[in-house]
Every structure is written in structure tokens, then in C-alpha cells.
Amino acid sequence: MPATGILPATIGALLTEENVHLGVEASGKTELIRTLVAALASDPGEDLEQITGAVLEREALLSTGVGYGVALPHAKTGAVNETRVLFAITASPVEYDSFDGEPVRLIFLVVGPARSSRLHIQILGRISRILNDEHVRGLLIEAETASEVIAVFESAEAKLKPS
């Protein structure tokens, strides 16, 4: 589900069965990002190379592999008109140049227009808080359907203290 300038009540509200992908196959970071950007695109006319380039350019500044098997690739680009998200769980761990040196399995991709800085930061902050919980990460890895993933996010976020 696209996001407007205000963060929805929950991250779960941003997720739909269409933007949750399980069992994603990739041999490395670049292939993983390309696969996820292709899955994120909602308009056949979108410039996938420009979106992918923006995510990879951001990734070159500092890895978004935040540790504990989690990556939060993101970018702002003129190639999209609204903020979009995608959550993926890989079939097997993918080397990602993470801060802790460990491969990733849980990936939350955020792509938005340049003017979406506040929303972008809100989404990344909330996702970071949710995925910081080891129990939540375990539940996500065990999830077998997109609806289970969404339920895990909704439950975890309901337990967060207001920031």
C-alpha cells in the first residue's frame, strides 16, 4: 500500500499480501535489491533502473544491513510519486555487508519521493524499533504466509510504547 505524507496508524497498515514476499531467492545484495525493487514497482512505466540506482547509491554510502539478519534498504527518488514499502524474507541468508558481518533474511524496502523525508524517517524508525526485538524476528522467520507476517507486525507494534 502506498503511503501519503502521514504515517498510518501501524506498519501493518502499510503492508498487504501483495507487498509481503516470502522465500525470496538472491545470491547477493545487488541481486536482492534488484529483485525487491522489481516486486515493489506498481506502474509498468516506472523506471526500475532509476529506482534501483537510487537504492544502490544510498547503500554505497553506508550499508543498511543493520544487524541481526535485518536490512532496511531505502531511497528517495524522483522516479516515484509516493512512498512505497515492501517486506521480504529470503529463502536462505544473503550476504549483505551488514554492520555485524552476518547475512540477512528480513528486508524492509522503503522507496519514496525526495519530498517525503519526514515520512521516510518515521517508517524507518518504527520498523527499526519493531525489528530490534529478537522474538519478533523469530516469529517473522517462522511465518508461512503474508497474512501471518502482517499479524506479527501489528501485534509487535501494538506493544510499542509511544515515542
Residue 18 within a domain = yes
pTM metric for this prediction:
0.91
Q: Could you tell me the CATH number of the domain that includes residue 45?
A: 3.40.930.10
pLDDT recorded at residue 130:
95
Residue 5 within a domain = no
CA–CA gap between residue 36 and residue 104 (Å, rounded): 14
- b/e per residue 77-86 (b: at least 16 CB within 10 A): bebbeebbbb
**pLDDT exceeds cutoff 70 at 1:** no
pLDDT recorded at residue 160:
80
What is the rounded average pLDDT for all residues in the chain? 90
The arithmetic mean of pLDDT across residues 91-97, rounded, is 97
CA–CA gap between residue 25 and residue 54 (Å, rounded): 22
pLDDT recorded at residue 107:
98
Q: Which residues are catalytic?
A: 74
Q: What single string gives the DSSP state of each residue in 54-75? A: HHHHHHHHS--EEETTEE--EE
User: Which of 5-14, 29-38, 57-66, 91-100 is least confident?
Assistant: 5-14
Tracing cell 526485538 back to the chain, one arrives at 133
Residue 3 within a domain = no
Residue 138 within a domain = yes
- Residue 78 or 70, more confident: 70
For 43-61, the pLDDT digits (tens) are 666 788 999 999 999 999 9
The arithmetic mean of pLDDT across residues 69-79, rounded, is 95
Percent with pLDDT over 70 in the chain: 90
User: How many domains does the chain contain in total?
Assistant: 1
Residue 163 within a domain = no
State which residues form the domain around 54: 11-158
For 101-159, the pLDDT digits (tens) are 999 999 999 999 988 778 888 899 999 999 999 999 999 999 999 999 999 999 999 88
